[in-house]
């Protein structure tokens, strides 16, 4: 078996392309977008909609598939993670439609993202006040009424929830139970198009980091959607059925695709800090001797070498999880490993950069304080550090979720 770590020519072109976007379009406005939380970064949104979606390289040339998606996330988050999450795309909502929807649903909901005359967003709303890590505990209901479902409940911390719920052409994928007595088997996801009566934007979170990103609370009050907007099968398997939570597992499979992307985002933020740290050390005449014997390394050299190692390990785990998707292999274990490693690595790297650079790095004059704030979310959303470690343990030990909680 040969293992190659070389990227396809198209991926190298993509790396350069997205790095240029990050450098020229994102970095110059990143501080301003962070300061003006809840204001739409119009210049970025309009620019990305008009120019950022151009094909890169030869579309018929060999490609690294999903690894290229991770490269895009890393480069754009090296530019700015908050703006990346504000980018008009189908985002997590799109992943849910792609993972659980029919071909007809994919065409109906995702085509506008190619043809709309104005920027649009997709989002996914799972989390509720009493249901986060334990997604099976959601209380939002969807009741069948003729040819429709009527949704009632409240969702919190919905990334891109403002754009997706308010701007025509966008949509929110909402998780709701159609039958509480069926437990996980009753949980289904529904596409709620922007502007649907009964879907209300209740508020926006004021956050520590990724402040350019809109994180919404959405209320659903007798919100009516066609039954054709239910993603996947409407069939409810009861709790005691052997295949009782198959539909739920299908919905959870969305995370196997999204976790490598979040891991790549983390690598991007970590690399931003590390690049700046190395430039700054170089400017101050401090060089890192990678070939010095361990007993002779300075504390800073040891820290920097460890940071570089952490970052590279996180990236390799991320690309492994992505390459398994390219091959159609189950990657639940590898996606969680990558997400857990990258979430921890970015938190440590960005904090270390602030520590090594000293008080100026705590000031808003430098971006490192912002990267430290932007880092932590990668260890929280799409499954916290603890939840991803739990998944890794379950997969390695071959335990079910009820055996290891």
Query: Where along the sequence are the contacts to ligand FAD (CB under 6 A)?
Result: 92, 123-127, 132-133, 157-159, 207, 215, 377, 380-381, 384, 386-387, 390, 405
Task: Kindly state the smallest distance separating residue 379's Cβ from ligand FAD, in Å.
Answer: 9
CB of 157 to ligand FAD, least distance (A): 4
Residue 143 C-beta: closest distance to ligand FAD, Å: 21
Instruction: For tokens 């950069």, name the residue.
Output: 353
The burial class, CB within 10 Å (0-12 / 13-18 / 19+), for 204 is middle
**Tokens 């949704």 belong to residue:** 151
Q: Is 286 helix (H, G, I), strand (E, B) or coil?
A: coil
Write down the least CB distance from residue 255 to ligand FAD, Å: 10
CA 310 to chain centroid: 20
Residue 380 Cβ vs ligand FAD, minimum distance, rounded to whole Å: 5
- Compare residues 14 and 99 and give the one whose CB is closer to ligand FAD: 99
The residue assigned the tokens 């293992």 is 3
Cβ distance to ligand FAD smaller for residue 11 or 332: 332
The tokens for 170 are 């966008």
The encoded tokens of residue 223 equal: 């919100």
Taking the least distance from each CB to ligand FAD, the nearer of 237 and 341 is 341
Between residues 42 and 130, which has the closer beta carbon with respect to ligand FAD? 130
Nearer to ligand FAD, 326 or 384 (CB): 384
Residue nearest to ligand FAD (CB): 132
Give the Cα-Cα-Cα angle 74, 80, 85 (nearest 5 degrees).
80
Indicate the residue among 307 and 345 with the shorter CB distance to ligand FAD: 345
β-strands 171-177, 122-125 pairing: parallel
Cβ-defined contacts of 19-25 (< 8 Å, 24+)? 19/75, 19/78, 21/48, 21/52, 21/75, 21/76, 21/79, 22/75, 22/76, 22/78, 22/79, 22/80, 23/79, 25/52, 25/79
User: Does the active-site annotation cover 382?
Assistant: yes
The residue annotated as part of the active site, out of 74, 75, 162, 382, is: 382
DSSP-assigned letter for residue 25: I
CB 88, CB 123: distance < 8 Å: no
Q: Which residues are catalytic?
A: 382
């Amino acid at each position: 078996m040969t293992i190659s770590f070389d990227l396809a020519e198209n991926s190298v072109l993509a790396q350069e392309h997205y790095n240029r976007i990050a450098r020229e379009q994102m970095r110059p406005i990143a501080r301003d977008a962070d300061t003006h939380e809840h204001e739409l970064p119009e210049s970025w949104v309009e620019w990305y909609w008009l120019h950022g979606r151009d094909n890169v390289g030869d579309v018929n040339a060999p490609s690294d598939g999903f690894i290229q998606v991770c490269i895009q996330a890393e480069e754009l988050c090296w530019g700015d993670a908050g703006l990346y999450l504000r980018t008009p795309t189908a985002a997590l909502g799109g992943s849910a439609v792609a993972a659980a929807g029919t071909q007809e649903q994919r065409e109906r909901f995702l085509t506008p993202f190619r043809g709309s005359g104005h920027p649009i967003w997709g989002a996914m709303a799972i989390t509720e006040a009493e249901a986060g890590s334990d997604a099976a505990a959601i209380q939002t209901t969807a009741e069948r009424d003729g040819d429709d479902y009527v949704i009632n409940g409240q969702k919190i911390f919905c990334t891109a929830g403002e754009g997706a719920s308010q701007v025509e052409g966008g949509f929110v994928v909402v998780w709701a139970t159609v039958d509480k007595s069926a437990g996980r088997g009753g949980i289904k996801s529904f596409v709620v198009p922007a502007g649907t009566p009964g879907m209300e934007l209740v508020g926006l979170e004021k956050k520590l980091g990724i402040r350019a990103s809109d994180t919404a609370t959405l209320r659903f009050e007798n919100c009516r959607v066609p039954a054709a907007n239910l993603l996947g099968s409407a069939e409810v398997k009861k709790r005691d059925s052997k295949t009782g939570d198959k539909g739920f597992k299908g919905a959870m499979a969305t995370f196997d695709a999204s976790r490598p992307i979040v891991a790549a985002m983390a690598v991007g933020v970590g690399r931003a800090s590390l690049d700046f740290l190395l430039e700054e050390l170089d400017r101050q005449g401090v060089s890192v001797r990678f070939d010095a014997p361990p007993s002779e390394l300075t504390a800073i050299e040891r820290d920097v070498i460890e940071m570089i190692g952490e970052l590279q390990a996180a990236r390799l785990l991320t690309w492994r999880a992505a390459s398994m998707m390219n091959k159609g292999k189950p990657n639940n274990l590898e996606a969680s490993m990558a997400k857990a490693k990258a979430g921890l690595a970015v938190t440590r790297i960005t904090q270390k950069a602030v520590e090594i650079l000293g008080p100026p790095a705590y000031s808003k004059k430098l971006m490192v304080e912002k990267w430290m704030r932007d880092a932590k979310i990668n260890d929280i959303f799409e499954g916290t550090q603890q939840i991803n470690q739990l998944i890794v343990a379950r997969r390695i030990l071959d335990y079910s979720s009820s055996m290891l909680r």
